[in-house]
Chains A and B, each alone.
Chain A
Amino acid sequence: MKLHTISINNLKRRKAKMAFLTIGLMVGIATIVTLVTLTRSMSSDIEHKMDEFGANILITPQSNGLAMNYGGISLGGVTFDQREIQEKDLAKIKTINNSKNISAIAPKVLGGIKLGSHDVLLVGVNFDSELRMKQWWKIFGEAPKGENELLLGSDAAKILNVGTGDTLPIKGENFRVAGILDQTGSQDDSLVFASLAKAQRLLGKEGKITLVEVAALCSGCPIGAMVTQIAEMIPDAKVSAIQQVVEGRLKALDQFKRFSYAMAAVVVFIGSLIVFVTMMGSVNERTTEIGVFRAIGFRKIHIMRIILLEAALVSLLAGFLGYAVGMGGARLALPFMAESRSAHLIWDGTVAFGSIGLALTLGLVASLYPALHASKMDPTEALRAL
């Protein structure tokens, strides 16, 4: 017979009341676990998309120009004093402080060429980095490997009436069409891609780059800081972040996160009230019992230990169940909440231990006053009979 024997046996006897207490606390913990896990999973999903969906930093030549477009119709622009990006400057990008966040650097050289009777835009790319950045590209055929191989956008292939394996003459040289892109719905559909070095020679832009797309791993990366760092390294270039859409999503998510935390706070408060009221009721029901304990010599601390141990056991059970139910809820809700089907649930030890710890803290704090109240009971009053 130890004090915990009393606590455990009392819990066994008051099964219905303790089940109510456990369920009340469990619902609170489960709600918090679901909200926190959903928020984190959705954040991770969006961050993953930012990494996956290509560039989030664009480097273009510095120029003084005036855009001439209105209502979506572009009339070109007036550009003057344009400075080219030098290919040798690209190495400087990898020397910035946040270089570890750089996933891929994709330089491009652009220029118009004549293919038969058609004017097309030739894009010189480094295929390795380009394919790494544009993982959504689906290529019929294969990615170009040699210098004299091309990759055509779907519209360009249709207009030029060529298929994979066909040959196209450009400025007296023959190029094999290694692959054709599936429809992307973007400007890529009408482009002809060649290797960077070959395109530079064909366009007479050796050593020059028209624009550079940089993909930065977004989990915790400071895009704004990276933009500043690259601009400092290449002063003649204009460096801009293209993350407005994702930022918008993150802001929406941030609002959801705040809402979740507010909800969690309300749930925690209600959970605490349930614990407090139930434990207080339990203590009041056990007035005589506590009177007997005090009469036979139990100290106040012994009474508190009995009550708090009961609360701790129930809270631990509620914590375990709450975590399990909460993760189950998050798993069910995630497909409806996340934008992509690939969003996956984040199993995090911090959430597991945090939820159990929160349940325990909540149970103990809410039971503290009932335990103190019990320990201060006058044994004579409690027993009444004496």
Chain B
Amino acid sequence: MSLIEISNVKKQYTSGDDIVEALRGVDISIEAGEFITIMGQSGSGKSTLLSVLGGMNHPTCGTVEMAGVNLYQLPGEKLADFRAQNLGFVFQSFHLIPYLTAIENVMLPLAIVKMSTPAKKSAASQALERVGLGTKLDRLPSQLSGGEQERVAIARAIVNNPHILLADEPTGNLDSRTSQEVMALFRELNDVGQTVVMVTHNPENGAYSDRTITLKDGIVLGQA
């Protein structure tokens, strides 16, 4: 069985009197250890698909199964717990907490985990070292470059050893050289077994992934 099974997922929004169909019946299977890029033009539904996949956006219909768990049938706050234990997010604008240092930002997902503070610090330091920022633990986000902030965001996403790493346009705000460095980092993470699902509009990023899924108008146009 695949790590992720998305079956006939539809998502409709109401915008005024209009109904917008962001996803119109998407079926995708993702295996453990795969590096997937989801591509498509603006408005194709790729970000909506990622939010549905991340357990943050109830689909209008269809099912999302992850490691055998039907996400949207989890009761109460169990979905939040599932996100905390199984998913890592990397956002387009990094979304680091400005008043926390790099190591504190990375420790954020561990704030709700029963773990000693030294153990949390150790895990966060290791994650930052993995992304090449072992010497900048105590810097505030404002003291880091865009590329470094992206790396902190990646470290935050992997600190709790998630099953799946979800990234939304992680190179959208970076120059081409830094983008390549960040993509290489994702590749490195995937090489050691991390499942990565990345939304991007940059075709060059597709070269780093195992498979590219193209969306258009809310449906899967093709997979390569």
Interface residue ranges, A against B (CB under 8 Å): 1-3, 5-6, 9-10, 12-13, 288-289, 291-302, 378-380, 383, 385-386
Contacts and interface: CB of A to CB of B under 8 A. Distances in A.
A6 B56 contact: no
A293 B117 CA distance: 19
Contact of A383 (B85, B87, B91, B111): B91
> Which DSSP category, helix, strand, loop or mixed, fits chain A's interface?
helix
A328 to B, nearest CB: 33
A335 to B, nearest CB: 46
Contact of B168 (A12, A292, A378, A386): A386
Contact of B54 (A6, A13, A292, A295): A295
B206 to A, nearest CB: 20
24 contacts: A1-B108, A1-B111, A1-B124, A3-B112, A6-B100, A9-B99, A288-B95, A292-B89, A292-B95, A293-B108, A294-B56, A295-B91, A297-B81, A297-B83, A297-B85, A298-B80, A298-B111, A300-B80, A380-B57, A383-B95, A385-B47, A385-B95, A386-B50, A386-B168
Interface of B: 47, 50-51, 54, 56-57, 77, 80-85, 87, 89, 91-93, 95, 97-100, 104, 107-112, 117, 120, 124, 156, 168-169
B98 A6 contact: no
B54 A302 contact: no
A294 B111 contact: no
B111 A5 contact: yes
A299 B54 contact: no
B174 to A, nearest CB: 15
Nearest to B140: A13
A199 B81 CA distance: 95
A3 B56 contact: no
A20 to B, nearest CB: 18
Contacts of B117: 1-2
Given A298-B84, A383-B95, 7 more contacts: A6-B97, A9-B100, A9-B104, A297-B81, A299-B81, A380-B51, A385-B91
